[in-house]
Structure 1
């Protein structure tokens, strides 16, 4: 009698389990993961084109030499770690050669997924690409910086100041003029930037986004030379807006035999010829000026 009562209960439990299983089967598959890697393996990002308004939506564009990991959801046999070849291609299982160079990470994911779908290898492929090492997108920093060299562009909106910081900043001999050269839209590109203005109001516009192949050059600081009857003759750093009087002070001032009368400045003109200038004490010095202080006759 007890066993006959259990059958309705067991039947109800079985029916509930079937309904639960059916509801689970109809649940949509997880959405395609974004190209952003896990926290333990941060995906580097490359610079967006100059003029981009924001790096928030910029994606890394794969370059030759980049090391990447490709995985397909629920298909562990398609897991692949490889490098992008010099001609921008990779060899992927079932698909053969796939061109990914120059594509954003999401675009490369879509191209591989499309190949798997069209070949009927995977019905709904969910492809994820993680950039393991950046070597394809780099910029060089030369001149008066603490660590000159070639650096990978690991952030989507790597800007001029970011690259300069990566190189350790400007040395004590560095000037205030930066020169960024490269190519934009297939044409030569050159930008001269006054470093202090980057931190002034509105200076963000000059803090441009760096692109692959760019070269940043930091010139040596401007100088002037002083000799004759001064305490410390020699080469001096030319500060912005420095006058002749300030230049004399930088040289320690005049000696007991020196006079401020008859001071001469040898200055190179626009035509390359050296001219002798009879300056006033408020004369603004220029890069390369040579100051001569005469000896007093009395």
Structure 2
């Protein structure tokens, strides 16, 4: 039974559009410069102003004539405009045309941990989605879940935690969902595969992966459904409790399945 999407298709970045609205939207999502990044600055018609430099810890880059120019936190396009404006305001050039390119990406990274083939830290080289980061980490390994945990710490130090299912990020309806983009300092964690168990009067008792949100009815369907000897009104769910005990109750068909749940279908007495 196929329960994983082991092949990640990483989409290429969209081509730049020549319309101001889409261009501005793309710029808003673009990579922001930071300390440690190396940049190449070219001023049209002024080769003596061409500069290759590393952004310092103070967020500035050294430019001929201008000295230190703060560009950290800006996109490459924004930084080019700032430098051009400084050249014009300083009286050095009229209608300055500046192009700035990132030659080394060093300031932003995310950690990808858990059940991936190449866990570790990944340097962001532009706008990066959750699925792209997983691909860069070699994909999910054989023991990994499709449940992906994203941990993010905001500027105030507050931590948030969200969960995503890989299948939902890549299925035919993914284009209707919001793209999950990563930010500097994010951590992705792929836990071990969640499982549930089905025993008793079903066609295929055994252990199954929770590859998407499931309820009791769906779980029984995955196990082949009840056999002819099953009591259709007697499905018992056993669930491990945090304190170490096991809770037992009659299962509701639309009750969500959790990791470690055991479903037992009793035999009919008639």
TM superposition score normalised by structure 2: 0.66
Alignment partners' CA distance in 1, 2:152 and 2:249: 42
Alignment partners' CA distance in 1, 2:28 and 2:256: 48
**Runs of 5+ unmatched residues, structure 1:** 1-41, 43-52, 227-233, 248-259, 293-298
Q: Deviations over 1:25-70 (max 9, x none)?
A: xxxxxxxxxxxxxxxxx9xxxxxxxxxx954764332111111111
Contact 2:238 2:249 in 1 (8 A): no
**How far 1:211 moved relative to its partner?**
1.4
Q: Deviations over 1:230-286 (max 9, x none)?
A: xxxx98756655459949xxxxxxxxxxxx9xxx986322x5341264889x99974
Aligned to 1:193: 164
Matched, 1:65 2:71: no
Q: How many residues align?
A: 230
Alignment partners' CA distance in 1, 2:222 and 2:108: 49
Alignment partners' CA distance in 1, 2:67 and 2:172: 53
2:179 aligned residue (207, 227, 230): 207
> CA 1:54/1:167 → structure 2, altered by over 3 Å: closer, same or farther?
farther
Alignment partners' CA distance in 2, 1:202 and 1:114: 42
Moved more, 182-191 or 97-106: 182-191
Matched, 1:174 2:144: yes
Matched, 1:78 2:49: yes
Q: Pairwise mapping of residues 22-37 of structure 1 onto structure 2 (< 5 A)?
A: none
**Paired residue secondary structure (1:77):** helix
**Runs of 5+ unmatched residues, structure 2:** 1-12, 14-23, 199-205, 225-229, 231-235, 265-270
Alignment partners' CA distance in 2, 1:98 and 1:84: 10
**Rg larger for:** 1
CA-atom RMSD in angstroms? 4.2
Contact 1:161 1:207 in 2 (8 A): no
Contact 1:144 1:220 in 2 (8 A): yes
**How far 1:128 moved relative to its partner?**
1.3
Contact 1:144 1:173 in 2 (8 A): yes
Which aligned runs of 4 or more in structure 1 are off by greater than 6 angstroms? 282-285
**Paired residue secondary structure (1:175):** coil
Q: Deviations over 1:156-203 (max 9, x none)?
A: 3x2222222222221111112111121457553332112222225256
Aligned to 2:113: 142
